[in-house]
Structure 1
Amino acid sequence: MISMSKVISLQETVGKGYAKFWHFKGRYRVVKGGRGSKKSVTAALWVIKNMMEYPLANTLVLRKTFNTHKDSTWAQLKWAANRLGVGSKWQFKKSPLEAIYKPTGQKILFRGLDDPMSITSITVDSGYLCWAWFEEAYQILNEDDFDKVDMSIRGQMPEGYFKQITITFNPWNEKHWLKHRFFDIPNPDTFVDTTTYRCNEFLGDEDRKLFEWMKKHKPKRHRVEGDGDWGIAEGAVYEDWREEDFDYKSISKKPGYRAVFGLDFGYTNDPSALVCALVNKEEKKLYIFDEHYEHSMLNNDIADMLKRKGYSKEKIIADSSEPKSIDEIRGRGISRIRAAEKGADSIKAGIQFIKGFEIIVHKFNCPNISIELSSYVWEQNKAGKFLNRPVDDFNHAMDALRYAMEQIRKGNEVSFN
């Protein structure tokens, strides 16, 4: 049991909206929800509290890529321990990335699906691997990847213990396997729920104003991030695409391939998006191998990111609506950045050109590009007929991709002088 110098009310600590989630002991707990709905922090609080109550239990925490843990799940669990007033009883290590409950040696282990061997060979020093938590599970587009982990949580448990997999995510795409498997097929061993920011009494007024802004100006995105509903997958702009785990360095050495880079600017409400791809114009193949997707980036942050990734000398085509940003980034050593063409015709022409390519997205490096490809749709009129223009949403990486492909589409017309 948790030992504390003072009693902490879970109602006050966790808040409302998660009572059934907290007490369910079946095989799967699946929560889809919008931003700010407390689903991730509640899962983190549950892990800390229950590991201290079950001294033989260990937990495996998973994301699509391992290197995203430190700033998300690892930090959330550390926050949860402090929130419960038991931070001194836990050791949060960065190398290897893990959390240890000092009185018993129980561990929280962190793994990524980009290293399947680290999952299939997983062992714990003492006790049992009882629980797993998949965070940002929408990024896992291949159900087989989930099944491999699901099968690793097996074996007999001591009396009073239970095996459980917790899944938290934003419901970006209604065609995602998560919907069919957990929400469309009733299973008594599964708890499913949808939560929103409205159940989060800890949000500030500024946060709530942002959702109101989104509801008015980005209703499609609000449907997912605000209301926690499934995204609209019908009428996808790009249909011929797939995810693969490929070696981009090997592909770059093949004849006919050329590297292209596109950058779309954002700040508070929208992210800045970088798309990096290898293109073979003759074979009509487009390999997207890297991305960057981040809010609130200043121009010096973007320049530093490009240098850190090793792209400072590359030809980069950026959003032409911000010439001042392009000049500032160029002044910080990104000398081959230039503005993209702009206008409605350029959007249509760019989309039509890209649609002629087979698009392969790196399975682990580009989760936000996969989300946008799944959610970037044609606009519809009141009768439900699709129009020849895309909805102005889920398009930051898509715009960056279009900018990058200008170098291929326009050829020698593009100058970097």
Structure 2
Amino acid sequence: MIPEIEIDSSAYSKHLEGILYSHDRYIIAFGGRGSGKTDTFYLKYLLELFQPYYFKLAYINKEKANIRDQQYAGFKRVAKRVGLYDFLHFYDGDYRIVNPANGNSLIPKGMDDPEKTKGLDDITAIWWDEINKGTKEDFTTLNKLLRSPVAKFLQFALSFNPVSEKHWLRSYFFDDKDWYKLNEYFSDKAYLNHSTFRNNEFIDQEQYYETLMADNYDQSSIDCDVNGLWGNPKKTNLFINTFNKDKHVPKIPHLFDKSLYTTISVDFNVSPMTAVVIQTDLHLRKVRIVDEFRDLNSDIYKLCKWIEDNYDTRSIFITGDSTGNNRHSYSKGGLSGYKIIQQQLKLNYTQMKAMEGKPQGYVQMKRLITNAFFSRHPDITISNAPYLVDDLESITLSYRGDMDKNEDPQKSHLLDCLCDGLFTIVKGNLKNIPT
């Protein structure tokens, strides 16, 4: 027999009440620290376990190892606080939480698990706290799993702090002009809640404010953690630290110029495949990056079609990552990436400028050359390439001296294209960069 559960208003913040009762397809709860939004989700989904309809939630963590000490411990704590603990089974081995009276359950999943979608059959809801640590592809992969025909409602709940105005969450869910309002697609599908510690009536707000201010050392973190605003963090230790957006991105973008030499630098990846278009004059007095290509499906034939549709293939050069010389599974007949490009575009061998292998110290040298271009060259610009600019402003230097690609596996590849292309153009010699 399922017990009747009564929760009075003292169990949750009034500002967050909408989260508790929402059956919207999406819940998007964001803002500063200390608002109580995470505890409200614990309570919400514990209560769903006692409903008369079928309910199965997957609660998500970016790292499987953190599930026990974060969400699982949080569910336990809230269940004890509101008197639900003794009605439920908490499995300390795999961190499931089950109501034995009806079989409704909460099941954990870590997104670093190679079998991250295994066992997520017939789920009716997903909640990912701190989804800002995941990627857009993580979200879309999970979202496709919400299709159970026996569900009373299907729901994906997202809770996060707005760590950066450049984060995919901001551009994916929110309006371009008003970053605190859902865009047109999600406006009628989602419940939106924005909160800060000022909305939590159960804490000493002034004391908590002092704690937050002590923990935050720059304006971006204060905006995010204290005021719940989209942050604008300034990266340090950048891989390319001489790029200046105000200086190197013209207000009126440069377009393709038929009078200049055109080099297309390609990076071959599982996802995404990328390319940048670099134009120069004979003596390298002008360097114009005028376009970028990015395909999440890594369709090399789509790349070839893009080049053919936009550029005169008789007067282009192809360069980029030396791994493009390897045979690839995406090709017809097991050809190398560069061989496919050459055949598809009917290029002669003099137009193919990619290196065979990488010389010793290649990564450090191409970083040095790219930094030298932005610091020393009198006329280098980037137009029509927002993803490349984002790479330049966000990709940091790892302790090994190469690019740190751990934060977002989809980033950095356009920056690789640029560095490979500039290295090829000056033949790997700093002396060939005009000043």
> TM-score when scaled to structure 1?
0.55
Which residue, out of 102, 119, 129, partners 2:123? 129
Relative to structure 1, is the Cα distance of residues 91 and 353 closer, same or farther in structure 2, using a 3 angstrom cutoff? Answer: closer
Instruction: State how far apart, in whole Å, the 2-side matches of 1:234 and 1:110 are.
Output: 34
Report the AA paired with residue 127 of structure 2. W
Instruction: State how far apart, in whole Å, the 1-side matches of 2:396 and 2:27 are.
Output: 42
SS of the residue corresponding to residue 118 of structure 1 reads coil
Instruction: State how far apart, in whole Å, the 2-side matches of 1:82 and 1:352 are.
Output: 44
Q: Is the 8 A contact 2:64 2:112 kept in 1?
A: yes
Matches within 5 A, 1:16-31: 16-31=14-29
Identical counterparts, % of pairs: 21
Tell me the equivalent position of 1:343: none
Instruction: State how far apart, in whole Å, the 2-side matches of 1:41 and 1:66 are.
Output: 20
Q: Is the 8 A contact 1:100 1:108 kept in 2?
A: yes
Tell me the equivalent position of 1:232: 232
Instruction: State how far apart, in whole Å, the 2-side matches of 1:20 and 1:352 are.
Output: 40
Q: Is the 8 A contact 1:29 1:190 kept in 2?
A: yes
Relative to structure 1, is the Cα distance of residues 183 and 87 closer, same or farther in structure 2, using a 3 angstrom cutoff? Answer: same
Which residue, out of 132, 138, 160, partners 2:132? 138
The alpha-carbon deviation at position 238 of structure 1 amounts to: 2.2
SS of the residue corresponding to residue 129 of structure 1 reads coil
Instruction: State how far apart, in whole Å, the 2-side matches of 1:284 and 1:139 are.
Output: 28
Relative to structure 1, is the Cα distance of residues 25 and 116 closer, same or farther in structure 2, using a 3 angstrom cutoff? Answer: farther
Q: Is the 8 A contact 1:240 1:359 kept in 2?
A: no
Instruction: State how far apart, in whole Å, the 2-side matches of 1:94 and 1:353 are.
Output: 40
Tell me the equivalent position of 2:32: 34
SS of the residue corresponding to residue 156 of structure 2 reads strand
Report the AA paired with residue 59 of structure 1. L
Matched, 1:49 2:13: no
Matches within 5 A, 1:34-183: 34-123=32-121, 128-140=122-134, 142-158=135-151, 161-183=152-174
Instruction: State how far apart, in whole Å, the 2-side matches of 1:60 and 1:131 are.
Output: 6
SS of the residue corresponding to residue 166 of structure 1 reads strand
The alpha-carbon deviation at position 151 of structure 1 amounts to: 0.4
Relative to structure 1, is the Cα distance of residues 212 and 26 closer, same or farther in structure 2, using a 3 angstrom cutoff? Answer: same
The superposition leaves residues 362-399 of structure 1 with CA deviations (integer Å, 9 ceiling, x where unpaired) of 369x9xxx9xx9xxxxxxxxxxxxxxxxxxxxxxxxxx
The superposition leaves residues 140-185 of structure 1 with CA deviations (integer Å, 9 ceiling, x where unpaired) of 1x21111111101113235xx1000100111111111111111222
Instruction: State how far apart, in whole Å, the 2-side matches of 1:74 and 1:352 are.
Output: 33
The superposition leaves residues 329-366 of structure 1 with CA deviations (integer Å, 9 ceiling, x where unpaired) of xxxxxxxxxxxxxxxxxxxxxx99879943134369x9
Tell me the equivalent position of 2:402: 358
The alpha-carbon deviation at position 34 of structure 1 amounts to: 1.1
Instruction: State how far apart, in whole Å, the 1-side matches of 2:85 and 2:124 are.
Output: 22
Q: Is the 8 A contact 1:138 1:169 kept in 2?
A: yes
Q: Is the 8 A contact 2:397 2:404 kept in 1?
A: no
Relative to structure 1, is the Cα distance of residues 63 and 281 closer, same or farther in structure 2, using a 3 angstrom cutoff? Answer: farther
Relative to structure 1, is the Cα distance of residues 208 and 233 closer, same or farther in structure 2, using a 3 angstrom cutoff? Answer: closer
Instruction: State how far apart, in whole Å, the 1-side matches of 2:397 and 2:98 are.
Output: 52
Instruction: State how far apart, in whole Å, the 1-side matches of 2:50 and 2:397 are.
Output: 56
The alpha-carbon deviation at position 93 of structure 1 amounts to: 1.4
Relative to structure 1, is the Cα distance of residues 238 and 48 closer, same or farther in structure 2, using a 3 angstrom cutoff? Answer: same
Matches within 5 A, 1:157-236: 157-158=150-151, 161-184=152-175, 185-186=183-184, 187=186, 188-204=188-204, 206-213=207-214, 218-233=218-233
Instruction: State how far apart, in whole Å, the 1-side matches of 2:163 and 2:171 are.
Output: 14
Tell me the equivalent position of 2:333: none
Relative to structure 1, is the Cα distance of residues 131 and 12 closer, same or farther in structure 2, using a 3 angstrom cutoff? Answer: same
Matches within 5 A, 1:264-343: 282-284=361-363
Aligned alpha-carbon RMSD (Å): 3.6
Instruction: State how far apart, in whole Å, the 1-side matches of 2:147 and 2:397 are.
Output: 49
Instruction: State how far apart, in whole Å, the 1-side matches of 2:81 and 2:52 are.
Output: 19
Larger Rg: 2
Tell me the equivalent position of 1:297: none
Instruction: State how far apart, in whole Å, the 1-side matches of 2:130 and 2:63 are.
Output: 10
Relative to structure 1, is the Cα distance of residues 232 and 115 closer, same or farther in structure 2, using a 3 angstrom cutoff? Answer: same
Instruction: State how far apart, in whole Å, the 2-side matches of 1:206 and 1:281 are.
Output: 56
Q: Is the 8 A contact 2:239 2:403 kept in 1?
A: no
The superposition leaves residues 194-215 of structure 1 with CA deviations (integer Å, 9 ceiling, x where unpaired) of 2100111122353232135467
The alpha-carbon deviation at position 129 of structure 1 amounts to: 1.5
Deviates more, 1:37-46 or 1:179-188: 179-188
SS of the residue corresponding to residue 284 of structure 1 reads helix
The superposition leaves residues 15-74 of structure 1 with CA deviations (integer Å, 9 ceiling, x where unpaired) of 221122223222110111211111111111000012211441011001111111111111
Q: Any unmatched runs of 5+ in structure 2? A: 176-182, 242-269, 272-358, 365-394, 413-435
Q: Is the 8 A contact 1:157 1:163 kept in 2?
A: no
SS of the residue corresponding to residue 147 of structure 2 reads coil
Relative to structure 1, is the Cα distance of residues 220 and 118 closer, same or farther in structure 2, using a 3 angstrom cutoff? Answer: closer
How many aligned positions are there? Answer: 257
SS of the residue corresponding to residue 138 of structure 2 reads helix
Report the AA paired with residue 136 of structure 1. E
Q: Is the 8 A contact 1:172 1:224 kept in 2?
A: yes
Instruction: State how far apart, in whole Å, the 2-side matches of 1:352 and 1:183 are.
Output: 27
Tell me the equivalent position of 2:7: 8
